[in-house]
Structure 1
């Protein structure tokens, strides 16, 4: 890249205090960093500043509108090798495209802050390798154009802990937030779209995902071989790929899934060979399949959820488990029964799954017959003659929409005339015989 001569003005404050360095024009940023005392601020005015650069002392770099650090498609654009570094209001672009090359590399350091910046046309956005206690907030991320398999992750956490990822926006990356052997991280208020997995957990423990909006990805959350994940108050919307899931939990333990909305995905929620899962007060609506289970899932507590408007409500295979916790179940919009005492709980159990949904697992082409007259009769006969097992995949206390309790007198008003008609018909039949 063509270099431009730098003009800088230095303003030193009191002795032994921090100083402010103002870059007035396009400059050799690495030289400026090297010459600036620790704990100082560098203010970047509008212009393109040439990278890659390395920060090896505590510094703050603030950018005005139009301040750009360009890596020239070589290596990491900014490598941070010291604690207590802040980058704010800067556009960072054109990292190398090699494995784990990033807009910003935080390399075994602590307490960095990256905020209000744009990382675009980079392989990885921010790679955190070791260290931790960073705050990454209100940034915009996008990778190089192309298929997601050629892109890097927005924020990649590797063997790090105690980081806060707040109100970032990511699009066109491989995985929005990727955690590998990382613990005690908070991901709050982020928006992630057009990625493979919005958030991807691998071998990670005790992490929190709260109040995020994940839409238009393949998976909203992919949790694999991890432990201790709190997933609360998020919206998982329009993961429409045929392999797409709002949330997929695979061989993972101790997950709390509460107060989320899983809307209009191909598959809403899937549990696969996982243990100690709490699913409470979620809305699972408008999905092709609402709830999927595969393999051996154990200690699953599911209560006070609403499953509405899903084309296929459940596809339950593998080990059966109870679909309710205690004496409060879930609302299923395909459940039909009565609430005789007005406690909003149906009088008979809801059976998750059906022989039709089980057959769909083996013969997907049977979806052609969904809601056909033959299939409707088939499912009605199943319910009428209790062909479904009571041993598992059963919600013993299903919720019904609130309303007035059924007046038993109305039952007798209907049954008595019906019984009388049936009695007279049988009597007439005997006379004819």
Structure 2
């Protein structure tokens, strides 16, 4: 009798010490199912069991230490109702199955007019996944992946699939496969997101009419890859230290009629990489201290470059695969500011050089034929190679700017100071982690 009483007291104490495990975290799914549409559920500072499905309009609000943890077999939270709001808690432990057609995520949204905000996401395949879901708001979330060593083993920070008219703003994404991936997703808007340590910070595939402004991409293998996507607005974004062999700040591949304006491309392996793209307007950008400022493949035509500041790059611009005729380096009598790269005179003081700039180079063939050339662009041997070919008259015209702008010297020091501040903060945050990872065309570290 005494033993029975002792066992009863022991189990009772365990029940009261850790009720979240004994009651399956208060049966969160049952609580949700019992709520009336439009109700508000305030979660406490403790862990709740995940793999929940929300099928009615409601609001879930957590607090500092609220965690919803999945069992590793599916989505942690599936939103299958409209007008759902999730805020202020941590979500973790979705399925990591890469072979499932379901594409598991910490939070997967299948419906419209929902709000996901102030959520922390850890240890999940995709972070937030919008699947055929429209008019949603995704803001102020923090999504952490496993880092560059495990990019292939995980999904994307925010994945938007066949979804339109969504607002994605003020999110921080670090260490996922791609930061934000848009797939057949039109007319979405993305503002003020910060993305680092991913494969591509931004990846567009077959997605048209999107707006992407004031976002920051740092220390990714590629800043933004825009593929088979048209009529985008990329404005006031920062592409800083996206570096490694075959890396870039911004890639335009089979991308047409896009507006690339007021962006900063600083210390990337390539600032802009343009291939099989037409009718893009590249205007009022800062393209500074990259290995190659602009790499333009001859398959790309009808680009317009105007009023850009293209300075202090190892190579200002190179055309690969042919002469690349049909691209314009000025518009309405305004060319580009090439800094001190090309000496100019301006006798009539109209802010435009008196003579066109014609840039010759022999490096296009070397870069095209030898993949590893990009690793040695700062070597003195490259400059010797250029001089030898120049003396033999074998170099070709890379571009001709008929109306080069006189250098604007006033804001350059301020820009460099701001960029150094950003880099310093990133170094302090990342500690002793290496800043750059180098990948070849096949994705292998080299």
More relative contact order in 1 or in 2 (CA 8 Å, sep 6+)? 2
Shift in Å, 1:361:
3.1
Aligned match of 1:131 in 113, 121, 133? Answer: 133
Q: Which has the higher helix share?
A: 2
| 8 A contact 2:178–2:202 mirrored in 1 | yes
Task: Tell whether 2:163 aligns with 1:163.
Answer: no
2:8 aligns with none
Shift in Å, 1:298:
2.1
Superposed counterparts of 1:7-86, under 5 Å? 26-86=25-85
Shift in Å, 1:355:
2.3
Distance change >3 Å, CA 276–CA 166, structure 1 → 2: same
Aligned match of 1:336 in 336, 343, 347? Answer: 343
Gap regions ≥5 residues in structure 2: 1-13, 410-446
1:412 aligns with none
| 8 A contact 2:20–2:47 mirrored in 1 | no
Superposed counterparts of 1:261-340, under 5 Å? 261-317=264-320, 318=322, 319-320=324-325, 321-333=327-339, 334-340=341-347
1:176-201, CA deviations, whole angstroms, 9 ceiling, x for partnerless residues?
11000001101100000000111100
2:5 aligns with none
Q: Determine the C-alpha separation between the residues in 2 that align with 1:378 and 1:298.
A: 27
| 8 A contact 2:217–2:240 mirrored in 1 | yes
Task: Tell whether 2:214 aligns with 1:211.
Answer: yes
Of 70-79 and 336-345, more deviation after overlay is shown by 336-345
Aligned match of 1:181 in 167, 181, 184? Answer: 184
Aligned match of 1:190 in 175, 193, 210? Answer: 193
Q: Determine the C-alpha separation between the residues in 1 that align with 2:37 and 2:331.
A: 57
| 8 A contact 2:83–2:114 mirrored in 1 | yes
Q: Determine the C-alpha separation between the residues in 2 that align with 1:372 and 1:288.
A: 13
Q: Determine the C-alpha separation between the residues in 1 that align with 2:131 and 2:61.
A: 23
Shift in Å, 1:122:
0.7
Shift in Å, 1:244:
1.2
Distance change >3 Å, CA 71–CA 377, structure 1 → 2: same
Shift in Å, 1:326:
2.4
1:112 aligns with 114
Aligned match of 2:143 in 141, 157, 160? Answer: 141
Shift in Å, 1:394:
1.2
Q: Determine the C-alpha separation between the residues in 2 that align with 1:270 and 1:60.
A: 44
Q: Determine the C-alpha separation between the residues in 1 that align with 2:369 and 2:20.
A: 68
1:236 aligns with 239
Q: Determine the C-alpha separation between the residues in 2 that align with 1:287 and 1:336.
A: 20
2:4 aligns with none
Aligned residues: 380
* TM-score, normalising length: structure 2: 0.80
Distance change >3 Å, CA 152–CA 381, structure 1 → 2: same
Shift in Å, 1:227:
1.0
Q: Secondary structure at the match of 1:160?
A: coil
| 8 A contact 2:163–2:186 mirrored in 1 | yes
1:16 aligns with none
Q: Which has the higher strand share?
A: 1
Distance change >3 Å, CA 352–CA 231, structure 1 → 2: farther
Of 85-94 and 143-152, more deviation after overlay is shown by 143-152
Q: Secondary structure at the match of 2:29?
A: helix
Task: Tell whether 2:92 aligns with 1:89.
Answer: no
Superposed counterparts of 1:398-409, under 5 Å? 398-401=404-407
Gap regions ≥5 residues in structure 1: 8-22, 404-433
Kindly name which structure, 1 or 2, has the bigger radius of gyration based on alpha carbons. Answer: 1
Q: Determine the C-alpha separation between the residues in 2 that align with 1:50 and 1:181.
A: 33
| 8 A contact 2:361–2:395 mirrored in 1 | no
1:354 aligns with 361
Shift in Å, 1:140:
0.2
Q: Determine the C-alpha separation between the residues in 2 that align with 1:362 and 1:350.
A: 27
Q: Determine the C-alpha separation between the residues in 2 that align with 1:186 and 1:130.
A: 16
Of 365-374 and 172-181, more deviation after overlay is shown by 365-374
Distance change >3 Å, CA 324–CA 379, structure 1 → 2: farther
Q: Determine the C-alpha separation between the residues in 2 that align with 1:94 and 1:5.
A: 21
Distance change >3 Å, CA 374–CA 193, structure 1 → 2: closer
